[in-house]
Amino acid sequence: MKYIFTLLAGILLSISIFAQKEILKTRYNPDGTIGFQSYDVTVNPKTITDTDGFLRRALSLAPGDSMHLVNIIRKNGNTYLLYQQYYKGYKLLYAT
């Protein structure tokens, strides 16, 4: 579960990195790694229209893998998409 959360956070962070250019604030973890970054969204906002293709490329999914949207969470003006991974139609445990 921790791996999947880290992977999902990495995807969301990579989306932000490609869409934004100016970092407003950086918060570091105790081990020195970046825990959170805030970007200026007015600089170069972009949207992802092909989420399936994006996830397939970003996660290097095999031909039998697929991601299904299971939940949308809106909180403090942000939208979080929660996906479940499937392999050849079978739901993978702890792969959300």
pLDDT of residue 24: 72
Residue 41's pLDDT band (cuts 50, 70, 90): low
pLDDT of residue 61: 86
The pLDDT > 90 percentage for the chain reads 7
Residue 17 has pLDDT above 70, yes or no: no
HEC string for 25-55: EEEECCCCCEEEEEECCCCCCCCCCCHHHHH
